[in-house]
Amino acid sequence: MAASLDGFIARKDGRVDWMETSDEFADGDTMDPGFVEAFLKTIDCYVMGSRTYETALRFEAQGLGWSYGDKPTFVLTTRDLPRTRDTVEFYSGDLAQFVNGRLRPKFRSIWFVGGGVVSAECLRLGLADEVRYSILPILIGDGIQFFEKLDRDIALHLAEVKAYKSGTVELCYQVRGRCGEPRNAPNHAIIGLVSLGR
């Protein structure tokens, strides 16, 4: 997930205009388009909340394209939202049952795109194996938190850190199991955002 340094993924009204930052870190890496393309191929399906889906539809309407390709995309919602492509499916119900009973048997790499409510619920229910967190060089003061209303501590293991020329820092954490060790699952559920660095 891409977030401001103060931990927000969007403004209160859902806008993400602040993501276009102008910082430059000379010693940072440049995101290789070939790496991004190869990485996206490892994702088998996407799961997102309704606000994230509406943001994706706005981006598409602005000519920025559909970020999720032809991969199955599951939108968690109780609302009646427009379905613009055959790869999108809406789901309302028990999240743990949906992920463990329906998605894990079929998909190896499940990518939770967000938003904050979905991310927090995944962690509360023990569904996430990994968290990818990109911090942008900006403070916005208020907005929608990355993890809304977590009700307990979640132990993490820092697995990777990368700094990019854009000033963005990408952190990769493994979610620790009950015994404190990183969880090793044949299927991988990741909380993150598909646009990595720059």
pLDDT tens digits for range 135-147? 999 999 999 988 8
Alpha carbons 45 and 104: distance in angstroms, whole number? 10
Residue 111 CB neighbour total at 10 angstroms: 25
Which range, 13-22, 77-86, 169-178, is most confident?
Answer: 77-86
Q: Domains plus CATH for the chain?
A: 2-6+24-191 (3.40.430.10)
| 152-182 burial code (b ≥16 CB/10 A, e <16) | eeeebeeeeeeebbbbbbbebbbbeeeeeee
pLDDT band for position 185 (50/70/90)? Answer: low
pLDDT band for position 196 (50/70/90)? Answer: very low
Dihedral of the CA atoms 84, 123, 125, 15 (nearest 10)?
-30
pTM for the whole thing? Answer: 0.84
| 6-37 burial code (b ≥16 CB/10 A, e <16) | ebbbbbeeeebeebeeeeeeeebbebeeeeee
pLDDT band for position 39 (50/70/90)? Answer: confident
pLDDT band for position 11 (50/70/90)? Answer: very high
